[in-house]
Structures are given as C-alpha cells and as structure tokens.
Amino acid sequence: MQFRAELLEIKLKEVFRTSRGEADRKVVCAVSFVDALGECCPSLHYGYSAEDCNKAIETMQLDLATKPFDLDQSLDFVHRECGERSSLAAGLDIALHDYWSRQVELPLWSRLGLPNPSGRETSYTISIDRPSATEARLKAASNFRILKLKLGSENDQDNLAILGHLQGRTIRVDANGAFELSNIEWLIRAAHDLKLELIEEPLKSPKLSDLRDMQSELRCPVVMDESVKCIDDVERFKGVVGGINIKLQKVGGIRRALEMIRSARGAGMKIMVGCMLETSVGISASANLAGLADYIDLDSIELIGDDPFAGVELKDGRLVMPNRPGHGAVRRSRQ
C-alpha cells in the first residue's frame, strides 16, 4: 500500500495578513492512504512547499501487505523518511491515524483515549488591516465569542481598541514575533486594561530572560507558537511562559503533538491547539486533540473558500464533530 498525493489550490475568502506576510490563497498537498486522508500545509517560512511535499510522497512506499497494520512502526518509517520536514510528516501521520481508527470504526479521539472534543469553543482570527476594514471583518465573526487579533502594524492599538469595545467577547492577540522588547509596554498595559486572555508569540527575539520578565508582568499567559517546534522546545520554555501552541503541521503530526502536550502538562503549562490555513482534513485531525486543550484556534475552515473536504464544522464558534470514524473528514462529492 502506498501514499498518494495531490496538489490543491485553496482560495481564501479575504486576504489573510500577519506580521510575517499575507496571502489570498494557499496551496496544500492532500494525502491519501487506502481510504484515509491527510494534509501537508507548510508555512512559507518552513523552507519547503506543498509542491515539495507532493514530490516526496510520490517516491515513498510503505509495505503493509504482508503483516497487520502497526501504527507505531509506520510512524517510525514516516519520521525517518521526512527528517526535519514537519509538515510532510504531519500529512502522512494524519492519514495513518485516520486509517488506524477507521479500521475499528471509531472516531480518532476515541481510539486515542482522549476526551470528546464536541462543543469545545474556538477563536476566530481577525488579520491585520486598517481599522475601518477591521470593523468589516468583525461581521464574519458575529457568531464567535472568542476573537484573536493579529498584531504587527501601525494600526495595532486602534484595532485592539475596536475589539476592546465589543461587549461579551474574549480577546486574544497574536504578534507572530513582531515586537522588540523595547516597544511592548503598551501591549502589557492593554492586556491589563482589556483583560486579554493571552498573548501569543510576542517577541521578535524571544530570549528566555525577556519572556520571563514579560510573563511576570502579565496576568494572562504568554503562549509560544513559532518558537516551539519539538519536545526540546517545550523543555526550554518550562517555567518561562504560561503556554504553548501545538499545530500538527509545525510539530510533525499527532504522535509528536501528544508527546509535547504530555510534557507541557507535566510542567503546568497551558495548551493551545492551533492551525495553519488548512482544509477540513487538517482541521478535523487537530480537532480530535481539542479535548486536551485550554485554548482552541481551529478557524481556518471559516477563512478558506471552496473546501474540497467536509469534516468538523463550527456552530456558534463551537466544534461539531462528524459522526464518522477516523478524524472525520471526507472528500466532498465532485459535481
């Protein structure tokens, strides 16, 4: 049995803008293994592309014909083949976990022995824009109680003030490493004044001493994202910040994500389960881990246009898990 791969170009409903760049579309590599599905959705900053993932998968062969399926052995093979290409490993890992849980006709979260994620609440991301456009973007977020504002422009304080005036909303902010320590005092004040729920990856140069000092001034946790790619990074930030953001594409899939979650939990850290600009395949896979999270940021299925897959849905900002085995995502019928 062999992995198969297909490149898909996904258009976004609006330009998605962060401190690190912007996009109006995303190319992903859809992975299939027998009847199971995975997804490679690498960031532009990873040093390889969905096209590179597609080429790599075309050359891989995983022989399961002569023995019962062994998930751990198969994942060992994947990580040997993929090396440091975490998004490539994630796409294959997701497909293998989907296949493993489909075999016994159980939802993936159940097969893994995890809490049922149905009903857990996610944030909705408001990307960088002019204040007038930010107000317009908020219309798409009307059914979401939790909002995450991207920071990293001259409009940050105005945009944050707009969200701060909303009634009954919980506000998170994400700088994607935009700030120098010397120009972040305003954000610390805003965190107090607006009762921000968390601040994600604030510093351009995340020195441990600077992050420790910043965390000590805040009532909300600093949550590290781009700086946490493997279990060694979890160890590095223990006792320094309040939490970590786990993204399957960043850490190499479900098995490694669970290892990192266990390590962080043991240190008393908060867990966010987040995403890239993934389709319903990647989001459904991540949603199966959401029962372990303190914070959930799985909104990309609301940000993309025509999703070729159906899986987890969001109703009033909460996860609605599909009544299907595996991670729950399937390909939509082609018209």
Q: Could you read off the pLDDT tens digit of each residue along the chain, which spans 335 residues?
A: 789 999 999 999 999 999 999 999 999 999 999 999 999 999 988 999 999 999 999 988 766 655 678 999 999 999 999 999 999 999 999 999 999 999 999 999 999 999 999 999 999 999 999 999 999 999 999 999 999 999 999 999 999 999 999 999 999 999 999 999 999 999 999 999 999 999 999 999 999 999 999 999 999 999 999 999 999 999 999 999 999 999 999 999 999 999 999 999 999 999 999 999 999 999 999 999 999 999 999 999 999 998 999 999 999 999 999 999 999 999 998 65
CATH number of 111-331: 3.20.20.120
Confirm if 149 and 159 have CB atoms less than 8 A apart.
Answer: yes
Residue at token pair 């594409």: 249
**Coil vs helix vs strand at 270:** strand
pLDDT of residue 86: 98
pLDDT of residue 66: 52
Torsion (CA) 333, 23, 203, 264 in degrees, nearest 10? 10
* Exposure string over 60-95, b if 16+ CB within 10 A, otherwise e: bebeeeeeeeebeebbebbbebbeebbbbbbbbbbb
For the chain, give every domain's residue range: 4-110, 111-331
Distances (CA, A) of 128 to 15, 117, 151, 186: 9, 30, 6, 18
pLDDT of residue 44: 85
CATH fit for domain 4-110, picks 3.40.50.300, 3.30.390.10, 2.80.10.50, 3.50.50.60: 3.30.390.10
* Exposure string over 174-195, b if 16+ CB within 10 A, otherwise e: bbbbbbebeebeebeebbeebe
pLDDT of residue 1: 75
Length of the chain: 335
pLDDT of residue 64: 63
pLDDT of residue 51: 97
Confirm if 201 and 227 have CB atoms less than 8 A apart.
Answer: yes
